Every structure is written in structure tokens, then in C-alpha cells.
A and B are shown apart, each in its own frame.
Chain A
Amino acid sequence: MTKTMTKTAIEITDLNFSFENLSILENINMSIEQGDFAGLVGPNGGGKTCLLKLILGLYKPQSGKISIFGEPAKRQRKAIGYVPQYANFNSDFPISVQDTVLQGRLGVSSCFGRYCKEDKIIAQKVMQETEVIDLAQRSIQSLSGGQMQRVLVARALAAEPEIMLLDEPTANIDQRAEKDIFDIFKAINERMTILIISHDIGFVSDYINKVFCLNKTLVCHDSTPVTSDTIHTLYGGHVSEVHHHH
């Protein structure tokens, strides 16, 4: 097969969303190409998670359109892998790492009833990739924050998606573990599009090729260089700039 042209993975046009008469997102226009590693940054309450859930089809927009590979998001669910915020987790649940990862096969597996051999092979593969294979039989109750985060990434990968949506995947872990996880994302990015929410604009900038800054509306995107002016509009002053020298 000859090299295919890059397709638009996620396309959002004129999107507005409000919840109980409170406007959350206004006039969002953005497009993410296949193979992008895009970052979505902005202050808390700026609507980042909301935008992600709209893309996932968990919420319905009041107006505007979201398409995934040119089709309505609902029809492309199989193409999306999702890593939710770790904080919302019922870590007391009696389930093993392997069974958690296998849940990623739901909706894509061709087997009825139990998970079948093919599902288990894929689960093994993604657990190897995210380096949690040694924990496969452990209960999730015994995992550290960083380990649990990798398990959630593995669960999303098990669906063999073409797009990965990640909501603050490193919020609860220390910086070294954060770098390790981002190296995994970088490897994943070789074969799929990534959109990641982060509060840490400096850290993600080493990895991403596109950035969207969101505070109710898109304050900047990849064509605008991020200056201290944009950061002021985004976070509203009181931000100390730290210059990194790499």
C-alpha cells in the first residue's frame, strides 16, 4: 500500500455546550490530524474534561458538530480509547489487573459471554507495553497511583483504538514516574493519535506537537505561539514563568 494522506482524526466545528443554563464551552473550533500528539491545557473549571466527554459522546452539545474520521462520534466509538481521571476511581473494587485491562475489549471483542483467547492475548500485549504484566494477577487494591494509571492506559489500549483520549493521566504521580509514562505515550503515538489533558503546560510541551489552550473558549491553538500574553488570558495573571533550558 502506498503512503496514505493524513486524515483528520477529530474535527470540531462551532461547538457550544452548557449545563443547567451555565455556559461551559463557547464557539469551539479545532481539528486534530491523524498522528498528532495534541495537548489540551487550561485552568481548572475551564471545560477541558467536558470537551473530552463531548468527544466521547458522553454529553450532547447544544450546537455544533464533532466528527471522528469524518463520521459522527457515536459511530466511531470503537476507534477511541479513553483514560479517565484516576481520582474518580473505586479502588476498593475486587478485581485483578488483568480483568480490568480486559474490560477494554468490551464492544470490540467478537466473543459472547466470557472474554476469549484473542482478548487475553491482546491484554497480555498491552500490559507488556505499559509494563504492568508482572502485576497481572494482583488486585487493583494493592497498586500505587502510578501503577494504577498504567493499568488504565493498558485498558484503553486493549480496544486497539486509533485515537487515545487521556484526562490528566499523571495527576497523582511523582515526576519520575510521569516521565516514564510519557515515554510510553510517545511510543504509542507512533501508531495512533493522542489528545491529552494536562495542567502542566511546561512538561507536556516536550512531547506534544500541537497545543490547545482552553478557558471556556479556545484561547490559543497551535498556530498561535504561546506567549506570556496568552498565558495571562488563559490563567488570568498570577502565573510565574519558569524558563526551561533543555
Chain B
Amino acid sequence: MLEFFNTLATQSFLQNALLGGILASIGCGLTGSFVVVNRIGYMAGGIAHSVLGGMGIAYYLGLNPFAGALIAALLAAIIIGVIKLKWQHQEDTTIGAIWAVGMAIGIIFISKSDGYNANLMSFLFGNILIISDEQLFIMLLLDIISIVFVAAFYKQLVAISFDIEFATVRGINVNLFYLLLLCLIAITVVLLIQVVGLILVIALLTLPAAIAKQYVHSIGMMMLLASVLGMIFTSTGLFVSYEPDLPAGATIILVAGLAYFISSLAKSFVRFK
């Protein structure tokens, strides 16, 4: 157990991993709260998975896969958003198609590049132990963009989530804010991919926020609590996985899932007592 703290004190890879988890948690708290109250986990899933297409193409071309991820995520967010706003009755099928087609593109491009297995695995499941200083800097930048955006348009974002029709009547450009919200989700997905990989992103995006929702009565407090919970889950997961050499991303998700299960159980126990 001490080994974890000794390594943490001396080795930068573990410091970066811990810091990466903390930076990712800020994004997951901010955005996850909107995903949970809008019940758009499936749309967020579509964005997250289709990102593999962008990562694969960038990787094949020898560019930074995370730049590819960011472009693909924003593109998927806008396509999914327009489908949601214009062809609502086919939303389900279309999002499912984008989800799978994005992944298929990614797999084909990665298979034609060197180091197929190792890289595919780290895109899908994350590798928190190899976060570079440069990546930390990008994560910090994405966090700052998210915070500034949410702070500036908090009341509009809450209004469209609560009652989109009333928001329209009050003159808010709801379509624009809806698309911006999906772009915020796209940015957060990219933040989280390095930590838990794109398969597990949805759990980290929704579980801390879903737990927070059980205890607070405002979106602002939900964001704060979800961010703190995210930090606790990523740090705990990292710590637990370190010595037995378990995959950190998967361990983080198990910690979050366990916490959600216990919290929901405790909540329903209190209610029915």
C-alpha cells in the first residue's frame, strides 16, 4: 500500500495519472449533470463511440489521435444534434448507426497502422498511466473552456433542460443552445477518453452526476458534488488498481458503479423506512 504513495512522491507518471483523473472529473461533473437531467445518455454514448473514427484516421495519418478525437466528437455532436432536432422520430436508429459506423471506420484505419492491438486497447479502455504533460495541458484547456461556457450560459442551459418549450417562449435560441450542449459533451468525452477509454466514458459521465442528483436540489450543486465524487472515484480506482496491476480505467468504473449502487440502495431504504 505504501508503494503507491512512495511512487506517487517520486514518479511523474503517477502524479500525471492522479492529476489527469482530477482534471477529467471537473468536466464529468459539469457535463454529466446535464446528461443526467436531460436523459441523453444514449446520445452521449453515440458521440463517445463514434470518436474512434476520428482517432483511427488521425493515428493512421501519423497525427495526434486526440486532435482527431476532438474533431470527430464535435462533428458527431452536431450531426446527432441536427438529427434530434429535425428528424426526431428516427433518432434512435440514426444515433445507433452513427455510433457503429464511427467505430467501424476507426477499427479499419487502426488495423492498417502499426501497433494495432496495443493502441486499440488504450483507445477503447484508456491508459491513465501514460498521460503526458502535454495531454494534461490540453485537458486543463478543455476544462477551462467548459467552465467558462457553463458559467456564461448557466441559466439558459438549465432552462432548456427543465422546460424547452417555456425557454422557447422566453426567446431563447433553444436549437443553438442544444447544439452547444452537445458540443460540451463532445469536449468532455475527449477529456475522459484518456482516463477510462471511450467504451467506459458513459459510466464516468453519468454515475457521479446520478449520485449527486440524489442529494441536492440545484444543477450547480449537482455539478460541484459530481466533480468531487469523480475525483474520489478516479483517485480511489487508481490507488486500488496500482498494486495488483489491474487496468485502472475498469477499476475506476467499478468503484463508481459500486458507489452508485450503495447510494441508490441507501436512498430507497431511507424513503421506505
User: Which residues from chain A sit less than 8 Å from chain B, CB to CB?
Assistant: 56-58, 77-78, 80, 82, 84, 88-90, 93-96, 99-100, 102-104, 106-108, 112-115, 139, 141, 155, 159
Contact = CB atoms under 8 A, between A and B. Distances in A.
Contacts of A112: 152
B156 interface: yes
Interface stretch (B128-136, B163-171, B183-191, B198-206): B163-171
B49 interface: no
Contact of B155 (A80, A90, A103, A108): A103
A58 B171 contact: no
Given A95-B158, A95-B162, A99-B158, A107 B219 contact: no
A103 B169 contact: no
B240 interface: no
B86 interface: no
Contacts of B219: 94-95
A78 B156 CA distance: 16
Given A106-B155, A106-B156, A58 B163 contact: no
Contacts, number: 74
Interface in B73-91: none
19 contacts: A58-B165, A77-B171, A82-B169, A90-B37, A93-B37, A94-B37, A94-B213, A94-B216, A94-B219, A94-B222, A95-B219, A96-B217, A99-B158, A103-B158, A103-B163, A106-B167, A107-B170, A113-B154, A139-B217
A139 B215 CA distance: 11
Interface of B: 37, 151-152, 154-156, 158-159, 161-163, 165-172, 213, 216-219, 221-222
Q: Does more than half of chain A's interface fall in helix, strand or loop, or is it mixed?
A: loop
A84 B170 CA distance: 13
Given A95-B158, A95-B162, A155-B166, A106 B217 contact: no
A56 B151 CA distance: 29
A56 B167 CA distance: 12
B162 A113 contact: no
Given A89-B163, A94-B37, 9 more contacts: A84-B166, A94-B218, A95-B158, A95-B217, A99-B218, A100-B162, A103-B158, A103-B163, A106-B172
Q: Which has the most chain B C-beta neighbours within 10 Å: A58, A103, A104?
A: A103
